[in-house]
Amino acid sequence: MAEAFAKLLREKQVIVCVGSGGVGKTTTSAVIALHEAIRGRKVLVLTIDPAKRLANSLGVDALDNDVTRIPIERFKDIGLEPKGELWAMMLDMKQSFDHVVEQYAPPKEREEILNNRIYKYFSTSLAGTQEYAAGERLFALHQSGEFDLIVLDTPPSTHALDFLNAPKRLGDAIDNKALQWIYKPSVLAGKRGLGVFSMGTAYVLKTLSRFTGAELLDEFSVFLRSFSVLFEGLKERGVKVRKLLTSAKSSFVVITAPDPLTIDEALFVNERLREEGVKVGGFVVNRVHTEWVDAEDLSRPVVGVVSALSEAGFDHLDPKALRDLAERMLENAQEFGVLSHMDKATVERLDAGTAKIPVVRVPFFSTDIHSLRGLELVRRAIFGVS
């Protein structure tokens, strides 16, 4: 499994890490990037997460919209000689999308869009804009040829599909008939029998504005009108981004946690990506509990444990204290047994549902992973000692 996963990474130029929030996606993205950098490639890890996670774990104060070199040569302290380079960058969503507008909008509309109040507040939260801007940036960076591998850590709450479909969703939002109707009333002039419109545009508009207020409708229609000029450019670029992401140069990696709900979600994402023509290259399951004591030993009577303990050097405890300790040590192992048993069952379900795709398990560590050294610990768990 580790072998197949390592091979996948070696062969790709773009790795997109997807998964639901709280599963360690950012950490895993960093580990994948670190591994390839140690092997000798020049790697960029790109995050959209504004929460400083990546900066935290890479041991730098902050990341911004420019690439920052990560001092992995510090690994010499722990006997490693990284052969490549690791770079990181945090996408500023607002800046990135402004950049898209500046690039594709004619000068007149450019100002109108950038100053529109709806755009100002929502440019980073409209359906698909985040993912679009990230895809756009990823594409440009890939085109530049500066890096051998780019690892993208996608936004937390987002599904993999949103990411892939961002250009389409943005396009749909601008292209849809209802919206055209509001910013281009002429589009539908002359057409009859279109359901709501046959009741009379004025009536519909009046009812709608009772609901939203006339001002919002006005502002929104100005926004859409000016935004629509961007559309052709966005669509064209979107097609290219999608082409890169679905090509043999790229692979998606689904990051997950071993609880049943998250595994369900990972299976769902895998299925949907496949329908979209994307191959998931691997799964990484984080925080898998270790089975410390096997089930047979756990069912032993306490007296057996008591005598084993006294043979193992705990014999100076008085009998009551010894028995009490034995009970608690068993209880502790049983508690972790419940978790490891559950994890094992859910990961097996993932295995069964994803034939032939490598599933890599990362143990739940006794320490928190938030430093370069921590990343190295995870790297060894995923790839074996280098």
Partner 1 sequence: MDSLNIYQRKLVLFSGKGGVGKTTIASAFALSCARRGERTLLMELNTKDKVSLMFGAGHVGPEIREIEDNLFAVNVTPDAAQEEYAVMILKLRVVYRAVFENKIMRAFLKAIPGLNELVMLGKAYYHVIEENDDGTPTWDKIVVDAPATGHGIFLLQIPSVITSILGSGHLYEEAERILNVMQDPKLTAINLVTLPEEMPVNETEMLLESVRDELKMPLGYVIINALYPQLFSEEELKMMDENRPDLEAGDLVANLIDAAQFRNMRHQMQQGYVEQVHERIDLPAAHVDFHFVDHVDFPTIDSIGASLAEQMGGE
- Judged by CB under 8 A, which of 173, 222, 244, 377 binds partner 1? 173
| Whole-Å CA distances, 83 to 41, 172, 339, 345 | 7, 45, 39, 39
Q: 252 CB contacts (<8 Å, ≥6 apart)?
A: 15, 16, 17, 18, 160, 245, 273, 278, 279, 280, 281
Q: Nearer Cβ to partner 1, position 21 or 106?
A: 21
List the one residue out of 88, 85, 80, 78 whose CA is nearest residue 56. Answer: 88
Stretch that binds partner 1, among 36-44, 241-249, 277-285, 337-345 (CB under 8 A): 337-345
Number of residues that bind partner 1 (CB under 8 A): 83
The H or E element that residue 14 is part of is strand 14-18
Instruction: Tell me the three-class secondary structure of 272-314, residue by residue.
Output: HHHHCCCCEEEEEEEEECCCCCCHHHHCCCHHHHHHHHHHHHH
Residue keyed to tokens 């069952």: 345
CA of residue 156 relative to chain centroid, distance: 6
Which structure tokens are listed for 32?
């994948």
Residue numbers 204-223 binding partner 1 by CB under 8 A: 204, 207-216, 219-220
- Judged by CB under 8 A, which of 190, 193, 195, 301 binds partner 1? 195
- The verdict on 178 binding partner 1 (CB under 8 A) reads yes
Residue numbers 353-382 binding partner 1 by CB under 8 A: 366-368, 370
Closest distance between partner 1 and the C-beta of residue 76, in Å?
A: 25
Stretch that binds partner 1, among 246-254, 339-347, 349-357, 378-386 (CB under 8 A): 339-347
Residue numbers 122-151 binding partner 1 by CB under 8 A: 122, 124-127
Residue numbers 266-305 binding partner 1 by CB under 8 A: 290, 292-293, 297, 300, 305
Spatial distance between the Cα atoms of 24 and 20, rounded to a whole number of angstroms: 9
Q: Which amino acid is residue 316, in one-letter code?
A: H
Residue numbers 47-86 binding partner 1 by CB under 8 A: 48-53, 56-57
Q: Nearer Cβ to partner 1, position 149 or 269?
A: 269
Q: Nearer Cβ to partner 1, position 148 or 297?
A: 297
Q: Nearer Cβ to partner 1, position 36 or 49?
A: 49
